[in-house]
Structure 1
Amino acid sequence: MTSESILLIGRGTRNAHEVLETHAERLRRRAIADAVEVATYESEPIRELRGRFERLSADDVYAVPMCTAHTHETINDIPSALSSVPGDVHYCEPLGQSPAVTEVIEERGTNLIPPSDDVSLILVGFGSSSKPYHRQTIDYHAARLREQSAYGEVLTCYLIQNPTVECVRYNTTRTRSVAVPLFLARSEATERRIPDELELVRGGIEYADPYGGHARITDAVHAEVEKQRALALDDSSPTASFEGQLTRTRRPVATDGEGVSR
């Protein structure tokens, strides 16, 4: 009988391991796989995770990058590290564009300021200077919230691309604002950089918590695993998703100090 494992992978920021374990425990209770494991890394996924991945014993491993959107690490380093997994790897999309995530964002804002026409909702992302994934993801949630919520306006901003976090205070047109960081766990960015650039000490902007261990995030992970499971069983589905291509083509190389020359 084929064994299955779910592998939650994330950067080891402030409370990341605790958050991932919260989601892992829920998934274990749902019994949707034989095992659910957590793997975190500090800065070098290939070096830090390879040994752990080599010890995985499941025939099929559903690897979920626990972040808002694809990054350099999820496109390059993590797929390279996953090449060490002995079984078949089904590489999942990040949390990204899940309707469940939209619900969490709205709830985080509502807990601080109930939606009304005189309130601005600010979505704060990390952003990227070269890749579109963060902007696409945050724009997706912003569009849904403009349509389904009662906020007077929904604005987006980023730490490392325009529109920037430091300027968003001056772009709001409502009398009150609430900012929600689109991050899974607490980090230096959510604890210091974003509050500083929002100038929270000046008042006028309430600041919400990251997604954390919210149950709807677990639902988003569950749904992604089920989607990948269905694709794996469907002979008529495309033979290579973007994530599938990554795990087939990325390997550690000699220049990483972790692989062999190609």
Structure 2
Amino acid sequence: MNKTSDLNTIELFIRDHYEQLTNHQLSGKLGITISAVRTACRRLGLKRMELEYFTGEMIVFLKEQYTIIGDTELATIFQQKWPKQKGWTKKHIEKKRKYLHLSRTPGQIKAIHERNVKAGCFRLCPVKAWDKVGRTPDGEIHYWSMQKGARKIPFIKINGKFIQWGRWAWQQIYGEIAEGMNVVFRDGDPHNLTIDNLVLLSNAELSRKNSAKSSQALSDNYVAGILTHGNPTLRELLKKNPALLELKRQQLTLNRIIYEHETNN
């Protein structure tokens, strides 16, 4: 559309296209500024949304309560006392406080936090987060580590709770698992999720299996254990010296090579 300065033509175009085009699009079509579009809209009584402003009563309440009540709770109270079509949010309260220069002291912030803890407000945080991002459905599998640095193993969600996939799968076929027994992956691959890849080991059997695996790989923990002979404090200290561990590892490796050579000959 060609540029025009005719006010009637501009207003007629805006009235006809207001619901289909944004202010930016109207501005581009008419060749006028955004400000001019907004002015014309106000003159025509066209509103994209009904703004809801803070009243004097709301401001007085905010000033009286902001030092003892947090913004999230204030938003809830505002919605109860002065219902808003789109609802009050923490952001609404926060922006108004900043506009009114209503800042809290560190002591006030701490007191509000302690008050919320006692009221049990934070117990709902995980629930609200799940409501927002969605909950994992039953039967879905995730991989997590049992401890820092450990290999990730599969967990499956059953009846709202995550349990180790291996134990769950074993129980589906063979029933309950006795105390002191462990379900492990036969081939060591936690991604090979088949019942044939599971084996039941006692604590002692699992310990021997892990010990053999560790010695074959000559891990830092295994090498440090040989050097420290049952002194856990010294072992942890020694594990921080990779150069010394590597020397011992090379010696052990050489001893194995010599032993295997003599055995084969």
TM-score by length of 2: 0.20
Larger Rg, first or second structure (1 or 2): 2
Which structure's relative contact order is higher, taking Cα pairs within 8 Å and 6+ residues apart?
Answer: 1
Flag the structure with higher strand content. 1
TM-score using structure 1 length: 0.20
Normalized per residue, which structure has more helix? 2
